Chain A
Amino acid sequence: MTFYDILFPAEAGVVALSSEAPACFADLNLDQVMDAITDGRQEYDLRPFFCTPLRDSETIRYRQAIARDLEDKALLACIKSFADQMRMARRYLALAKKLRFRHHREGWFLEAARVYCEAVTSLRHDLAPAALASDGLSAFREYLAAYVDSDQFTVLLGDTVKLKGDLAAIKYCMIIKDGTVKVRRYEGETDYSVEVSDTFAKFRQGAVKDYGTNFTTGSGMSHVGARILDCVARLHPDEFAALNHYCDAHSAFADETIRVFDRQVQFYVAYLEYIAGLKKAGLAFCYPQISCQRKQVHADDSFDLALAHQRVAEGTAVVSNSFFLTGPERVIVVSGPNQGGKTTFARMFGQLHYLASLGCPVPGSRARLYLFDRLLTHFEKEEDIRNLRGKLQDDLVRISAILERATPDSIIILNEIFASTTLEDAVFLSSRIMERIMQLDLLCVCVTFIDELASLSAKTVSMVSTVVPENPAERTFKIVRKPADGLAYAISIVEKHRLTFEQIKERIRA
């Protein structure tokens, strides 16, 4: 098995990456999710990977296996430490290119190569005992081992270690008085601050403020520093000649395949890190079964990723929801009291499918999802009362564009369409659109206040947002499968006041 790429198996061929966020991103709040995931990782340019949903279930499984491997905390930690070192090596190399003084420049070049060697050898060492189940990581491990054992790398490593050791052993003394500096070899002088600390040790009570200054390193070198370094180089001519030779011999030390791996593996690291906080808060994630045939999808204990992230950060509870479709069922019609989590449910359905198409673990304890060709969304924008007619027209234009693009393999999510038109119009328009959707036999979630839509045909399933029975003002944010019934909400209020027919009979005894 030869290693090709950690995001695509060799068989996948060349996949064109999109760097534009898909149109559904804003509606599904996936833009927030992607921003949070890629935050602080700009240098890896991960957006194209998140903006390109896959159509090939083999590649999805290839990624799922890799992500599953990386859920091992120890393994993830060593990938992250590898990434940190690679990042540091890049920074040092960039720094070295900018420096003026020769000994200084060469010093930083050596440092970059040293950190690179450390990154590569530690990763090889860390991966060796790891129990890897994925083809992708196993193949990479083989590649890495072969590279580390190659002559090219062995020579680089040997030269680096020897030279760094020699330079690090150099110590010197300087005497500064007014504008004069004398530099000479070090002769075993001891640290005066130790003696001071020892003298006052008896007063030590607890931690005190640190008065030390943290001087920055790598910020360049003054001409005075350069002159001192020249003096030191004259005191130790052999070591500095060796350094000069080293820089010529190893001018291009980094391996291309490893550099690509370092970038691409961040796709997994970033996503897993993003969901780690949610898992810690007790939320479930799973690797969905993916099918491009079966439309009987389901998910248990799932949730809106963007909302959950926000709520966990605030320390508030996240409500999870489940759904399933069986037999001919294709369309979930969500109705019920407002502010009850209907939109969140619709987003969740879309997010689940999108994330699954990236090969990522998805919110939920168990899921089987459909591999779509297009994920199309229509969410009603802020109401604009002044221009109702224009808005209705605009809605229709947008929906018809969606229907034109939709195929039987697509997923459509409609949120509160026609909410601001007359009921009669809304019923008529919605029913027409639903008919076309059902003709296409595609998967759809439709959030609506129109109960009739819920029972249009065997293809529709009704789900309803619910309230706490004792206190109808309180939402549970649970969306459950049951017939749409606008009265249920009102009846629960009546029950609270014990004024239903039965209750009144009971209270007023004959």
Chain B
Amino acid sequence: METLSYRHKARERAAGSKSLAIIGVVASGNLEVLVERVLPDTQCQVDINTAAVGFGAVWEAVIADFVARRSPGGLKLSINDGGARPDTVALRLAQAVRLIEEDEE
């Protein structure tokens, strides 16, 4: 198993007021993303737990791209990875942010 962690500065705070969101499932080719609004507005962090060892560079690139596009300021995203492809990871990260930015029910 490998644990990775990336801290980034974000342009601005993620919208909305929800403090918690979760998406995905830990299954083969899939992943879950837990999002918590717990950081200062212009910071974000992505923590990953994965059984696929040695893909640090790929994660780094996917996450850097995600941060630049979505500006997830204030969010800590925690991932349990079931061996997902980079495009699935990118999709889930985007879904996760969209979810936490949604209005309360």
Q: Tell me if chain B binds chain A.
A: no
